[in-house]
Amino acid sequence: MITPADAITLQEQLRAQVITTDMLPHPIRTIAGTDVEYDTSTDLIAGSVVVLDYNTLSVVAVAAHCMEVTFPYIPGLFSFREMPPLLEAYRQLEVEPDVIICDGQGLAHQRRFGLACHFGVTLNKPVIGCGKTRLCGRYDHLGEARGSIAPLTAEEDEALIGNALRTRDGINPVFVSVGHKISLPTATDIVLKMATQYRLPETTRLADHYARLALLEYKSRPNKPPASI
């Protein structure tokens, strides 16, 4: 099992592989969302990946995987807890997405290598980080209207690490950052396009829904080996 020290070393090594320019297919036809659900009473975790049609947002494919957590809860190292079920779910997909939105950070991370970067580099796919909360950095002067953007900058060197994005008028922003093979402006535009009715993009909302369902279904089984749902 990888140790926390080894995990930090791996983050520092892999972050050099992150590509921050657009390497997307044209046109984009499918987009995926990822999310994980933790069981509060056990060590179970469910990861889900849902693929949507990029234009209609109809569900094209869904996969989920349940297993026991294999890495401790350590801030800044969440990808090592969440990657195993997400990768297993991804391998079950019948449709490969053109771009992925992760419910987590990309470059907006203490070591510039959050879940979205880790997932993108591992799969060699365009990935966007879209966090519900700010992990690090600071921003100012974010307008109240939908579509307002404020740069998220690192506190130590003021480097641009993401954007605070208002997806609904007067509602708390989400935090968008580059994961892999995409630029920050493109990532921000895509997240706003996906946030059609709610604060979170539809990719994240649906992935969260299917992760919850997968965990409930898994827990209802009499025998519970790791399983894809």
Query: Quick one: 20-221 is in which CATH superfamily?
Result: archaeoglobus fulgidus dsm 4304 superfamily (3.30.2170.10)
8 A C-beta contact, residue 69 and residue 41:
no
What's the confidence (pLDDT) of residue 223? 66
Query: How far, in Å, CA of 180 to CA of 166, rounded?
Result: 22
Question: Could you give the 3-state DSSP secondary structure of residue 41?
Answer: coil
Say if residue 221 is exposed, middle or buried (CB neighbours under 10 Å; 0-12, 13-18, 19+).
exposed
Q: Identify the pLDDT of residue 225.
A: 58
Do residues 99 and 126 lie in contact, with contact meaning Cβ atoms separated by under 8 Å?
yes
Q: Which of 128, 87, 24, 57 is nearest to 228 (CA)?
A: 87
Q: For residue 113, which of 132, 96, 135 has the smallest C-alpha distance?
A: 135
Q: Taking Cα atoms as reference points, which of 100, 50, 75 lies closest to residue 213? A: 50
Segments making up each domain of the chain, as ranges: 20-221
The residue length of the chain stands at 229
- Residue 90 tokens, joined: 């991804």
Q: What is the pLDDT along the chain (229 residues), one digit of tens a residue?
A: 789 999 999 999 999 999 999 999 999 999 999 999 998 888 899 999 999 999 999 999 999 999 999 888 888 998 999 999 999 999 999 999 999 999 999 999 989 999 999 999 999 999 999 999 998 999 999 999 999 999 999 988 889 999 999 999 999 999 999 999 999 999 999 999 999 999 999 999 999 999 999 888 887 876 655 555 5
Residue 218 has what pLDDT? 84
